[in-house]
Structure 1
Amino acid sequence: MTKQLLKPDYIFESSWEVCNKVGGIYTVLSTRAKTLQAAFPDRIFFIGPDVWRGKDNPLFTEDEKALQGWREYATLNEGLKVRVGHWNIPGHPISILVDFTPFYAQKNEIYTQAWLDFNVDSLHAYGDYDEASMFSYAAGKVVESFYRYNLGAKDKVVYQAHEWMTGLGALYIQKKVPEIATIFTTHATSIGRSIAGNNKPLYDYLFAYNGDQMAEELNMQSKHSIEKQTAHHVDCFTTVSEITNNECRELLDKPADVILMNGFEDDFVPKGKKFDEKRKHARKVMLNMANKLLGTELDDDTMIIGTSGRYEFKNKGINVYLESLNRLTRDKNLKKEVLAFINVPGWVGEAREDLLERLSSDKTYDMPLEVPFITHWLHNMTHDQVLDMLKYLNMSNAADTKVKVIFVPCYLDGKDGILNESYYDLLIGMDLSVYPSYYEPWGYTPLESVAFHVPTITTDLAGFGLWVNSVVNHSGTLQDGVKVIHRTDYNYSEVADSIKDTVTEFSALSNQAIENIREHAAIIAEKALWKHFIQYYYEAYDVALRNARQRLSQSNDNN
């Protein structure tokens, strides 16, 4: 018989990325909101930082009437500066944005209390630690206030905090409102990311690393401390993939209670005739821009591939992608011209005037522009890792080479000045995407790719890659729609060859074979929809509520 899961009556979630689009957690929260809002209508509240004070936030619509009684009470009696409204995403959940700046005045007392209560070391804080912690504390105060004003012991309430940035608030609630069940989700351990980013081998030595010792070595004591103490003290500790769970076990000395894999909604993927039109348009835009930049005449038979994401040169595998493209230039079996994009925001300056001039003309050009690798000038042209590696590899983009590489170093938001299309509106035109990550707790970019029926290459060091292997019951192949390459600390060269071989294999396929692969990619994407993955959240709520209940009864017994 299956156990009846305890369900919360109210859910609070806090994250730095509520109504504030800065990274992958935004995608997790904003795509999941619709599913939870349907299950808990207006009983799920997202709490974010009011970083847009005095400016118009396009992601948030204030509603003076929402939660009016409590808001006025909290402002007048508790000095909390909050704005209440709706997040402008599917589901339009209630969102509470809090101004955390007043708490800076009490910073030392707050940190001292966290040390006394939970051994949180804030002594070595620097950078964004203070800002994140003051927001986190403010979010905890908001939930405490709301609970005291509106709810009571009969209500089952869950508070979910995302990343080390919200740990302090979760611990505050654990102490001040013990009736609320707490969940903490780490999307990547701060130490794991730092080890990988500092070019130290993470995986082969994971068993030998001591998280506290590494925190000292990497000057990360405070972030590591809040992350570790929160993981140990909340009612339910969660992470996003098996691979990150290994990190948690070794570096935080605590495995996750539940793994919350990142799903998504596919409502942004066009259907039927609209899909075909958008794909055609995307290819036209990309090929036209490439031809004007390179002085070539690449046609629609060109194989368009690409990578994208944050500019983490090693962690995201941008280096090994470039290495594979260089090897591809010498591959005799390559059957098509390849146009390879790197859509990664860098320190971008102006859109290129010379390229704009060509784009506004109907002429065809047979001479490339100078620096024919890049669409926008950078502020650091002489110290950019992508351009440096292209130079080091002696890549030319010459007319006679079958592989052309173009770096688009800006956010694809539809108004970059050159392509003027959004990221998804270009992704749909690709033939193949490549995300050979070295460090990737989950991996939304390959998942988005397969949602648009674009087969992808990733690695088993990405949570998504590992999940695909478990779905297809073997290492994902090109025929599955997701090629999952085995990656370790030391097999860089084999990974580069594997990417090269996969691109070459794809270039020789018939249209029918490609169609089949595209269908398989879409089938895998469907398995990752929130309607399937939301179940893990229900499990986490159940664990948190049961543990909170036990914690309360123990504390009552002790009293």
Structure 2
Amino acid sequence: MKPNTLLFEIAWEVCNQIGGIFTYIKSKVPTMLDTYGDNYMLIGPYIPEKAKLDFRPVREIENVALAEAVQHVRSLGYEVHYGYWLLNEARPKVLLIKPSIHGEHLNDAKTTLWKNHGISTIEKDPLTDQVIAFGEITKILLTKFIENLEISQDVIAHYHEWMSAGSLTGLMREKIRLATVFTAHATLLGRYLAPNEEHYCPKKHSYNWLQKAKQYGIESRVALERTAARSAHTLVANSDITARECEAFFERSPDNVIRSGIHKKPGVGHEVFEQHLLHRAKIDAFVKAVFFPSYHIKTEKMLYFFSSGRYEFRNKGFNITLESMARLNAELIRRKSDLTIVFFMISKQPFQTIRPDVLEARQRFHDLQKICKSISAKLGPRIYSNVTSATGHKLPDLNELIDEDLQQTWRQALANFKREGLPPVSTHQLENHDEIAEFCQRNGLNNEAHNPVKVIYHADFIERTTSLFSLDYLEFVRGCHLGIFPSLYEPWGYAPMETIMHGTPVVTSDLSGFGKYIRTMVPSDKDHEVKIVDRQGKSEEEAIAQLTETLHDFVETFEKNQYIPRASLPKHILDTFCWSELQQRYHENYKLALMRYQPVADLY
């Protein structure tokens, strides 16, 4: 590749958190900036409520060719924003495009898709309309930009999944001089078939993609995805699972399989344990605020389990996780165990607001802490004065040191803190009663005092600025004892990978790309902190039974040792997850895309 090659990374989750691709892009950016510098830029959709959190607009665009291209797009009546994505470790340049075009232009774009590619978009689908609009504006922008460049300037457009790739086929068909890369992080048909077709994995090559797409009402979406994947100069998959789906549904084998990664390895040894204690203390404070007003829990005998991910109830294994937690709850009751397990479900769902009683409980807990500190501040000097007095050889009677004012303050604080009723299961006022809430209600996971397993359903992303825990997501992960991700469909699996890499033991499945990779890298007879539930070729009941046994063993280990060790993986495995290594493989794919774009140039 030439040193000045321009690289655009295009994804629907740029400045727009939805699922794993957001984590993928965010973690990759620092390495991309280190490698490509000012020649690197991201393109994503402009979603105002998301952009206001971490996007800083810039009025002036330094690159003249880009400035002219943006001005051209704006002159056509389309909305484009230029600025910086405010990440913790980097500030990449981004273009955010509002995915909306006028009705007649949308119809023209749909007509072109039908004439050139046989893609029917007649059925009403607001999301597909947004994807087409985003693609059309991106195509106009990139076309105008490249027209303004020197003929010798190389440009690469790297697309992630179907929602970002609406412009890819048009740019290729019109022979705009740029090389294209398409990364498949999953497939649409895979997401739909896995939870609805029995024994999906071994049968994937037998399905007729068009027939199944019509059956599930996603024909236009699948056709857009398939056309983009088949058109790109280079096709990359994130796991062997996705690679096999590409062969089955796109009829194209990926040019390479490149795992998802992280920016840098977390700390080791005592650093990991210290971080766990620090962040666990903040989770402790939240749990006390929610539960202690109703009844007391022994915090020294409390474990924190969690599961998180995009809301796909069966694909993410939420169904078997909840069933296993219900069975574990029944077993702990039968054994009269004095342990408490607080299980957090973290998954974004539509909600109206955070529940007022949760906010109120947290505030009252903070108020109680302040009062306790105030009492300590007054009581401390009195105890010191008593001890240092002539009669201070005896332990003072604390009741004599507390005056009426302190007693009244304490009684008032307790009265304000206590609450009638059970602690809430959901932290948010949901717009609709969903499967998680319904399962908990139906199976008695309602936070009654006699239940060893408590549930906290957090229907939003965990971000420091809005977090009920005063933590960001990875800090929350470090503060927990176990992450549970027994997915039915998980082509890679960022959640389990991040969990284990930040020191928290994890349960995943053999249908997760991450789980399959660990199984190939670590001998099965080695004892390590990644437990794998066998789901391939197994019934749901068999998976639930194995997961319940795994959770039971974990609890027994804690009961015997009163200690859960932090997790770690061998260095040779950790190294394979770092973008500094993985980016080299993408670099080779960029060179391959340029070779296919200009096969006679012999420059690469």
Question: Structure 1 11/317 Cα, relative in aligned 2: closer, same or farther at 3 Å?
Answer: same
Is structure 2 residue 578 aligned with structure 1 residue 529?
yes
Q: What is the number of equivalent residue pairs in this alignment?
A: 543
Query: Which of 538, 542, 545 is the aligned partner of 2:591?
Result: 542
Question: What residue in structure 1 maps to residue 33 of structure 2?
Answer: 37
Is 1:22 the counterpart of 2:71 in the alignment?
no
Secondary structure of the residue that 1:205 maps to in structure 2?
A: helix
2: CA distance, partners of 1:355 / 1:347: 18
2:189 to 184, 188, 191: 191
From 3, 7, 10, the counterpart of 2:6: 10
Quick check: 2:131–2:166 contact (8 Å CA) kept in 1?
Answer: no
1:556 match: none
Matched, 1:374 2:420: no
Q: Do residues 340 (structure 1) and 343 (structure 2) align? A: yes
Q: Which deviates more, 64-73 or 263-272?
A: 263-272
More displaced stretch, 6-15 vs 202-211 = 6-15
Q: Is the 8 A contact 2:507 2:533 kept in 1?
A: yes
Distance 1:40 1:193, change over 3 A: same
Report the counterpart of residue 65 of structure 1 in structure 2.
60
Spell out, residue by residue over 1:261-310, the C-alpha distance to the aligned partner (whole angstroms, 9 max, x if none). Answer: 21112488795686255234234224414532652323133121111122
Deviates more, 1:261-270 or 1:37-46: 261-270
C-alpha distance in 2, partners of 1:500/1:243?
A: 26
Larger Rg: 2
Which residue is equivalent to 1:219?
Answer: 217
Q: Which residue of 2 is the match for residue 244 of structure 1?
A: 242
| C-alpha deviation, 1:60, in angstroms | 2.1
Tell me how far 1:324 sits from its aligned partner: 0.7
Paired position in structure 2 for 1:117 = 116
Once the two structures are TM-superposed, the CA of residue 546 in structure 1 deviates from its matched residue by 2.0
Task: State the 1:38 CA deviation.
Answer: 0.8
**Cα 1:151–1:198, aligned 2, differ >3 Å: closer, same or farther?**
farther
1:130 aligns to 2:129 (yes or no): yes
TM-align CA RMSD: 3.3
Determine whether 1:507 maps to 2:555.
yes
Kindly tell me: are residues 517 and 422 of structure 1, through their superposed partners in 2, closer, same or farther at Cα, counting changes over 3 Å?
Answer: closer
- Listed as ranges, the gaps of 5+ residues in structure 2 are 369-413
Cα distance in 2 between the residues matched to 1:522 and 1:507: 28
Given that 1:308 and 1:445 are in contact with CA atoms closer than 8 Å, whether structure 2 keeps it comes out as yes
Distance change >3 Å, CA 402–CA 521, structure 1 → 2: farther
Q: Which residues in structure 2 correspond to 1:371-410 (within 5 Å)?
A: 372-380=424-432, 383-395=433-445, 397-410=447-460
Shift of 1:100: 4.7
Picking from 243, 246, 265, the partner of 2:263 is 265
Tell me the distance in 1 between the aligned counterparts of 2:8 and 2:422: 53
> SS of the residue aligned with 2:52?
coil
Q: Tell whether 2:568 aligns with 1:519.
A: yes
- TM-score, length of structure 1 as denominator length: 0.87
Q: CA deviation at 1:401?
A: 3.6
Q: Letter of the aligned partner of 1:375 in structure 2?
A: T
1:202 to 200, 203, 206: 200
1:143 equivalent in structure 2: 142
Q: Identity, % of aligned pairs?
A: 24
> Letter of the aligned partner of 1:24 in structure 2?
G
Structure 1 residues 413-435: Cα deviation after superposition (integer angstroms, max 9, x where no partner): 34658544433332221111101
CA pair 99-329 structure 1, distance change in 2 beyond 3 A: closer
CA contact (8 A) 2:492 2:513 kept: yes
| Deviation at residue 204 of structure 1 after TM alignment | 3.8
Structure 1 unmatched runs, 5+ = 554-559
| 402-411 or 159-168, larger mean C-alpha shift | 402-411
Residues of 1 paired with 2:240 and 2:556: CA distance?
35
Equivalent residues in 2 for 1:225-240 (5 A)? Answer: 225-240=223-238
1:175 corresponding residue in structure 2:
173
What's the offset of the Cα at 1:316? Answer: 1.0
**Contact 1:451/1:522, CA 8 A, preserved across alignment:** no
1:351, 1:377 within 8 Å by CA — same for their partners in 2?
A: yes
Residue 437 of structure 1 deviates from its aligned partner by 1.0
Partner of residue 427 from structure 1, selected from 477, 491, 495: 477
Secondary structure at 1:48's aligned position in 2? strand
Determine the structure 1 residue equivalent to 2:541: 493
**Which secondary structure state, in structure 2, belongs to the residue aligned with residue 493 of structure 1?**
helix
**Could you tell me how far apart the structure 2 residues matched to 1:394 and 1:272 are?**
36
> Once the 2 structures are TM-superposed, how far is the Cα of residue 206 of structure 1 from its aligned partner?
1.4
Structure 2: how far apart are the matches of 1:269 and 1:377? 37
Aligned partner letter, 2:518: V
Structure 1 residues 482 and 134: CA distance shift in structure 2, 3 A: same
Contact 1:309 1:344 in 2 (8 A): yes
The Cα of 1:57 is off from its aligned counterpart by: 2.6
Q: CA deviation at 1:544?
A: 1.2
Give SS of 2:235's match. strand
Matched, 1:166 2:215: no
State the 1:491 CA deviation: 2.0
| Range moving further from structure 2, 44-53 or 161-170 | 44-53
Say which SS state the counterpart of residue 125 (structure 2) adopts: coil
Q: Matches of 2:258 and 2:350 in 1, distance apart?
A: 33
Greater mean alpha carbon deviation, residues 235-244 or residues 71-80: 71-80
> TM-score, structure 2 length as denominator?
0.81
Change in CA separation of 1:371 and 1:461 when aligned onto 2, cut-off 3 Å:
same
Could you tell me how far 1:547 is from its partner in structure 2?
1.8
Which range moved further: 315-324 or 172-181? 172-181
- Equivalent pair of 1:86/1:94 in contact (CA under 8 Å): yes
Change in 2 beyond 3 A, CA 1:390/1:276: closer
- In structure 1, how many angstroms separate the alpha carbons of the residues matched to 2:274 and 2:427? 28
In the alignment, the residues of structure 1 paired with residue 328 and residue 185 of structure 2 have an alpha-carbon distance, to the nearest angstrom, of 34
Please state whether the residue corresponding to 1:264 is helix, strand or coil: coil
SS of match in other structure, 1:508:
helix
